Structures are given as structure tokens and as C-alpha cells.
Amino acid sequence: MTEHRYVESLPDLISPDEYADHPDGALVRLRITVTGNGVEVLGDAMRPEHVEALLAAAGLRNIQQMLCG
């Protein structure tokens, strides 16, 4: 089962100046890092449901999220 935890901040992988280049909002960016504790997957998307679907399909056990807006 996946555990979701809200955090204050996460690094941005998409900058605001990229939004004009992707009017459909379909840009998703992932950063995969091997750490001493395993593999860390950081995702950012113009539309949260796109990155959420990718992370869910990957079967990750722990997902940190931040509230935007």
C-alpha cells in the first residue's frame, strides 16, 4: 500500500518560463537518483494527475507531496 505524506517543499523540475512552450500542460519531468537508502524518484508536472499516475504505476511505497497554490 502506498503512503502519501505532505511536505513543505520539494525541488522544482519545471520552471515557470516553460509553461508557454507547453500550452497543453502535458510536460512531465522525472529525476531518478540512487541513494544509500535505495532509489529516489522526484517528479514534477504541469498537471499533477500526470505525475501522480506515473508514480502510482511505478508501485512506490512512500510518496511525498506538497500542496501548491
> pLDDT by residue (tens digit) across 9-27?
999 999 999 999 999 999 9
Q: What is the pLDDT of residue 60?
A: 84
Cα separation, 19 vs 23, whole angstroms:
7
Are 55 and 63 contacting, i.e. CB atoms less than 8 angstroms apart? yes
Judged against a pLDDT cut of 60, whether residue 57 lies above it is answered with yes
> pLDDT by residue (tens digit) across 34-54?
999 999 999 999 998 999 889
Cut 0.75: pTM above it: yes
Any idea of the CA torsion for 61, 64, 65, 66, to the nearest 10 degrees?
A: 170
Q: How do the domains of the chain map onto residue ranges?
A: 3-65
